[in-house]
Each structure stands twice: as structure tokens, then as C-alpha cells.
């Protein structure tokens, strides 16, 4: 079994008024290649914080993060092949696309940064791959529906052919029917691009539908590791109940 991602004793804290606030402490898990791994928990449990550390968006952590054999280093930007391999799709397609840039610009930028050629054609292919007409390249984000915007965000994440896609509540801002379309699209793309997913969600239904394994988080710690059998018993109430568990490490307000 190959581990795509392994995270050991990950702790993340932020400075606050009195002391440092520990958002994540002692989180350990590993994700096998080709799987969809769920980080599940109520608001404020630290699941997005873990994802942002893996994405390299927050480098102030301690512990060990290993991605496809490359160790990330705390305090340093992710560069080179590892940077291409890790891409992220954010929760809100209304705020994750630049409102004053056309879709062609938004999708062309990562290619330009990495010095690719034939950008216009690549943008057309990228849109087509997520089920959008290449004619949308000339539009601004506000001229698209929420589902179309999330497709653009997914297209952007796929442009550099990542091996690991980090999904932060990718459908929680969408209608149930649009959510169904996006989840189908993600599963199709995962199969065709041989990707590994880490999915953050508080929705037990989405997790149960998508994930092969996962962990339930509570107050910055792993409350429970979940395999498929345990996922079958995961209910909305169980996710919510994790918010009220008394955990020794909890130093919230």
C-alpha cells in the first residue's frame, strides 16, 4: 500500500490576546493513493486548518507532513513538483474567483506562472473537461451561476495535473441538485486523472457518499478514525455531538 499523504503529530497554533491558541494538536493520519479521505467535524474543529497546512497556505505548524514522499517543511513555501501536485478547491465559489478577471485570465494564470505554452487552447480544454462550454472563457465570474463557478474553480485546480486535490467543503454553498452534479464531476475526474482527494466537510451525507476513510475531529484533535463501517454509522447528530465532547486539549472561548 502506498501512502499518498502522511501526517504525524501535526499541531497548529495561532497567536491570540493572552496565550497562543492551539487550533490543531497531535493530529496523525495517512491517506492511501487513489482514495478519498474525509476530515469531518463541526465548525471550529480545526479541519480546514489541517487542510490549509497541507496546502501550504499556512506554514506555522509543527510535526510532519509527507506528500508523495516529499517532506514539507514548516515555515517554508511549497515549491517545484510538490507545488504542482497539491491543489485546492475552496468552499465559496463566489469569493474564490477574482471578480474583475475574465475566466480566461483566471484559468490562464497558473499556466503562465509555470511557463506553459498554448494557454488559450489549454483553457478551452480545461473548461470542456469540467462540462463547461469554452465560450464561457470571455465571461466574468458574476456572469456565471454558483455551480458553474465551482466548476471553474475545479478546472483551475486541475490545470497543473495535481496528484492530490484538497477539497474544502466544495459543495456547501450549492443547491442539492447542483451539489449532485459537482460530486459526480469530482468522482469522474478522480478516476480519469488518478487523483487522491482529501475532503473537508461537516455534512455526513457528503462524507458517506464520497469517502473511503476519514477521521472525525473535535476541538482540534482526532476524536475517532473512521473506516467504511464506521462511516455508515456517522449521522448529522454524531458530527454535531463532537462539538460538545469534553476534550482535555480544548482551550476555546
Q: Enumerate binding residues for another protein (CB under 8 A).
A: 42-43, 132-133, 145-147, 175-181, 183-184, 187, 202-206, 208-210, 228, 231-232, 234, 236-237, 239-240, 243
Q: How far is the CB of 17 from another protein (least distance, A)?
A: 16
Q: How far is the CB of 117 from another protein (least distance, A)?
A: 29
Task: Please tell me the distance from the alpha carbon of residue 206 to that of residue 166, in angstroms, as a whole number.
Answer: 15
Give the nearer residue to another protein in terms of CB position, either 72 or 200: 200
CB 141 within 8 A of CB 99: yes
DSSP 72: P
Angle at 111 between CA 110 and CA 116, to 5 degrees: 155
Give the nearer residue to another protein in terms of CB position, either 181 or 245: 181
Q: Give 62's contacts (C-beta < 8 A, 6+ positions apart).
A: 9, 10, 11, 12, 74
CB 46 within 8 A of CB 24: yes
Q: How far is the CB of 199 from another protein (least distance, A)?
A: 11
Q: What is the DSSP pairing of strand 61-67 with strand 3-15?
A: antiparallel
Give the nearer residue to another protein in terms of CB position, either 10 or 239: 239
Give the nearer residue to another protein in terms of CB position, either 42 or 220: 42
Q: How far is the CB of 135 from another protein (least distance, A)?
A: 9
Owner of C-alpha cell 455534512: 203
CB 150 within 8 A of CB 158: no
Q: How far is the CB of 221 from another protein (least distance, A)?
A: 19
Give the nearer residue to another protein in terms of CB position, either 162 or 214: 214
* CA 245 to chain CA mean position, Å: 25
Amino acid at each position: 500500500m502506498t501512502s499518498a499523504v502522511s501526517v504525524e503529530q501535526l499541531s497548529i497554533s495561532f497567536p491570540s490576546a493572552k496565550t497562543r491558541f492551539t487550533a490543531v494538536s497531535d493530529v496523525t493520519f495517512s491517506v492511501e493513493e487513489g482514495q478519498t479521505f474525509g476530515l469531518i467535524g463541526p465548525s471550529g474543529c480545526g479541519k480546514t486548518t489541517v487542510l490549509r497546512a497541507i496546502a501550504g497556505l499556512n506554514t506555522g505548524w509543527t510535526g510532519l507532513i509527507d506528500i508523495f514522499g516529499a517532506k514539507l517543511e514548516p515555515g517554508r513555501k511549497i515549491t517545484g513538483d510538490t507545488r504542482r501536485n497539491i491543489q485546492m478547491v475552496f468552499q465559496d465559489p463566489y469569493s474564490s474567483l477574482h471578480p474583475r478577471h475574465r475566466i480566461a485570465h483566471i484559468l490562464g494564470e497558473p499556466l503562465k506562472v509555470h511557463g506553459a505554452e498554448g494557454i488559450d487552447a489549454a483553457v478551452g480544454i480545461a473548461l470542456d473537461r469540467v462540462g463547461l462550454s469554452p465560450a464561457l472563457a470571455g465571461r466574468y465570474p458574476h456572469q456565471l451561476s454558483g455551480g458553474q463557478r465551482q466548476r471553474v474553480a475545479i478546472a483551475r485546480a486541475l490545470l497543473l495535473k495535481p496528484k492530490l486535490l484538497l477539497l474544502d467543503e466544495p459543495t456547501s454553498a450549492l443547491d442539492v441538485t447542483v451539489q449532485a452534479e459537482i460530486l459526480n464531476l469530482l468522482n469522474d475526474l478522480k478516476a480519469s486523472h488518478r487523483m487522491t482527494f482529501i475532503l473537508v466537510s461537516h455534512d455526513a451525507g457528503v462524507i458517506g457518499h464520497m469517502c473511503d476513510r476519514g477521521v472525525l475531529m473535535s476541538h482540534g484533535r482526532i476524536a475517532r478514525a473512521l473506516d467504511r463501517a464506521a462511516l455508515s454509522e456517522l449521522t448529522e447528530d454524531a458530527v454535531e455531538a463532537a462539538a460538545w465532547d469534553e476534550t482535555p486539549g480544548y482551550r476555546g472561548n
